[in-house]
Amino acid sequence: MAQQFELVAIEGNIGVGKSTLVPKLVERLNEMDSRPWKMILEDVDSNPEFQRLLAAFTQDPSQRIAFQRFITNHRAELCKDLDPAYNYVLERSLYSDLVFCQANLQEACRPDGADLTYYYDIWDKLDAYPQVTSVVYLRSEPLLSYQRMLQRARSAEDGTSYHYIKLLSDCHDTFLPHICRQKDTMLLTEDWSHFGCHDRVARRILHKL
């Protein structure tokens, strides 16, 4: 049976402004649409295991698989058994895991079997994942994303380099369109270097722009 609800994923680099946009966007969508919308945010600031694994990965890239597997499983759980009476705006989807995996494969001196197995495990998880109907890609200059990350001062992100933020930007630009084509997902790219208008994003999601 065809999926009965919209699932919109907000994607983009670390620090670009996803979590700031999502509540404003959902509020506007509820004003514009006859069907109710809910938001699904990552609990990054309140989840101690996420914080622990992120800090370990930031300090030691060899710990990346443990962190990535945790967050992939967590994201998959967030989207299980969604109530079809609502539409949803999601802060990051499993598409994000594919992009980050590509970036981390580029960083690895010689990817091993665990790296490659994990990448294909994400694709397998997408088979049971709800259809992402649209991706809103918030694109900004990597330096601005890096500066915003520093300004929010999350301790678990200490040590994240500008080089890594630049690599993530390149991987989003390169691989996100490919993933969306593979999964038949509409890709809506927004320039977020100086932030943007949540009303405009809502109208694009509802195909009014």
Q: Binding site for ATP: what residues are annotated?
A: 12-20, 148-152
Residues known to be catalytic: 91
Identify the three-state secondary structure at position 207.
coil
Nearest-angstrom CA–CA distance, 144 and 165: 10
Long-range (24+ apart) CB contacts under 8 A made by 102-108 are 102/171, 102/174, 102/175, 103/164, 103/167, 103/168, 103/171, 104/61, 104/64, 104/68, 106/167, 106/171, 107/61, 107/164, 107/167, 108/61
Question: Where would I find the H helices in the chain?
Answer: 18-32, 48-59, 64-78, 94-107, 113-126, 142-152, 162-182, 198-205
Cα–Cα distance measured from residue 20 to residue 138, given in angstroms and rounded to the nearest whole number: 12
- Binding site residues, as ranges? 12-20, 148-152
Q: How far apart are CA 94 and CA 48, in angstroms?
A: 21
Distance CA 159, CA 60 (A): 10
- Ramachandran bin of 195, using left for φ above 0, alpha for ψ from -120 to 50, beta for the remaining angles: left
